[in-house]
Structure 1
Amino acid sequence: MTDTLFELPAIPVVPVVNECAGYPVGRIFCVGRNYAAHAAEMGVEVDREAPFYFTKSPANMVLSGAQVPYPPGTDNFHYEMELALALGSPLFQATPEQARAAIFGFGCALDMTRRDLQIRERKKQRPWSLGKDLENGTVLAPFTRASDWAATAERRIHLNVNGETRQDATLAELIWSIEEILCHLSQFYHLRPGDVILTGTPAGVGPVVSGDVIEGGIDGLQPIKMEINAEAGSVQ
């Protein structure tokens, strides 16, 4: 093998509940505007013809429990609580049945966002990368295997900041179901193990500042936590 000039960051690995081996993350896809109330609070309408996506770099991911600094370049740093799904087998031009069978597991996720930069770029019809794909901008809790958990409509998804509830909804409010997302996304990509999809956030997003503690959960999954700490690096 050819020697490299330098080393890249290690592939991030998410713990799996009750297992020794972890789940390596290769790609992160995110579904935009998948809760109508959240789209409304952002002042936009939902495109009900098809879901749309943006991506986040695995190298910018941290695990639940991370203490991270307030990011540079923003005065409006937002939390977004989401359900993440992880694939366990390849998927291309999938049927709903194939999509369900390809899911390895589920977990809680935070899609942290420089909201001012996202909105600025959105108004100029430019990509959202500065707002979305930031260091420490994706937080993942341990995954639970799909055989041990089902994304049923009544599952509560919620988030609090410093103990105060900010987001509180159920998975029934998802516009595009998990199967619909995977069937659609697999028309454009050869999806594979290591792919993680964040399925969107409910209403109630808002800013956090240094010193804030963010905690969230989805019924039956491992909870998620992150602290904004000006003195801290990140916990991998």
Structure 2
Amino acid sequence: MSGQNISKFVQWGRNIVAVGRNYRDHCAELGNAVPTKPLLFMKPPSSYLEEGSGPILIPRGCMSCHHEVELGVVIGDVCCDISEDEVMSRIAGFALTLDMTARDFQEEAKKNGNPWTLAKCFDTALPVSKFIPISDIADPGNVKIWCKVNDEMRQNGTTADMVFSISYLVSYISQYFTLHRGDLVLTGTPAGVGSVNVGDTITAGLGDFITMKFDVKQRK
């Protein structure tokens, strides 16, 4: 895949690794303890939704669908057992993302000790911006990230508040399974997550680098 255009990673990337509870204020708002090691889960490539390709679809039976704005890290070279010092040289760039979550599905799964699959992996559960080259962001560890619903600010944080840094996360993940060119690592969401409803419009931004907008509809 070395010849693939990295800006088209959504179309051919293999893996999406998401990190839960990586902002202290988000842990607090959901009543979760701050983790001592990264909490990982996966989302499938089928959950990608590129801007302009359609609306976010609330899954059937979901009564509480939440927005979670996140910085996504696009892998540019193979990462297997790499050190934190090596990470930035293996990153191709970034993307702004929304980790859409069927919160009622997730709470039921947590209560029963089951995986979060239905809550996190439904079609359109990962709206994503255009690719942002790594050279465009001088310090991805200190950039504003925000999310509005119908022009109301819901999330307004900074990546400086992450529990685990980008370098730590990618290095940690690579100790357990290999990340390939085009893979995406989601780095967690700041406080302010909340429900969206049919007819809402979500607008999200990463500093002055990029904004994206998606409408919300019900899957029929």
Q: Which one-letter code corresponds to 1:210 in the other structure? A: V
Shift of 1:139: 0.8
Q: In 2, are the aligned partners of 1:14 and 1:140 still within 8 Å (CA)?
A: no
1:169 and 1:109, CA in 2 relative to 1: closer, same or farther beyond 3 A? same
Alignment of 1:215-230 (within 5 A): 215-230=203-218
Alignment of 1:1-236 (within 5 A): 16=7, 22-23=8-9, 24-48=12-36, 50-65=37-52, 66-230=54-218
Q: Which one-letter code corresponds to 2:131 in the other structure? A: F
List structure 1 segments (4+ residues) > 6 angstroms apart after TM superposition: none
Q: Which structure would you say has the larger Rg?
A: 1
Q: In 2, are the aligned partners of 1:85 and 1:107 still within 8 Å (CA)?
A: yes
Shift of 1:153: 4.2
Task: Specify the SS of the correspondent of 1:147.
Answer: helix
Q: Which one-letter code corresponds to 1:188 in the other structure? A: Y
Q: Which one-letter code corresponds to 1:195 in the other structure? A: D
Q: In 2, are the aligned partners of 1:31 and 1:52 still within 8 Å (CA)?
A: yes
Q: Which one-letter code corresponds to 1:59 in the other structure? A: S
Q: In 2, are the aligned partners of 1:14 and 1:142 still within 8 Å (CA)?
A: no
Q: Which runs of 5+ in 2 are unaligned?
A: none
Q: How many corresponding residue pairs?
A: 214
Q: Which one-letter code corresponds to 1:30 in the other structure? A: A
Q: Which one-letter code corresponds to 2:79 in the other structure? A: L
Shift of 1:126: 1.3
Task: Specify the SS of the correspondent of 1:90.
Answer: coil
Aligned-partner Cα distance in 2 for 1:158–1:94: 31
Q: Which one-letter code corresponds to 1:127 in the other structure? A: P
Quick check: which one's helix share is greater? 2
Aligned-partner Cα distance in 1 for 2:57–2:140: 35
1:176 and 1:73, CA in 2 relative to 1: closer, same or farther beyond 3 A? same
1:155 and 1:114, CA in 2 relative to 1: closer, same or farther beyond 3 A? same
Aligned-partner Cα distance in 2 for 1:112–1:135: 10
Aligned-partner Cα distance in 2 for 1:179–1:132: 24
* Backbone CA RMSD of aligned residues: 1.9
TM-score computed with the length of structure 1 as normaliser? 0.86
Task: Specify the SS of the correspondent of 2:210.
Answer: coil
Counterpart residue number, 1:4 = none
Deviations 1:137-172 (A, max 9, x none): 001101111122234444111000000000001111
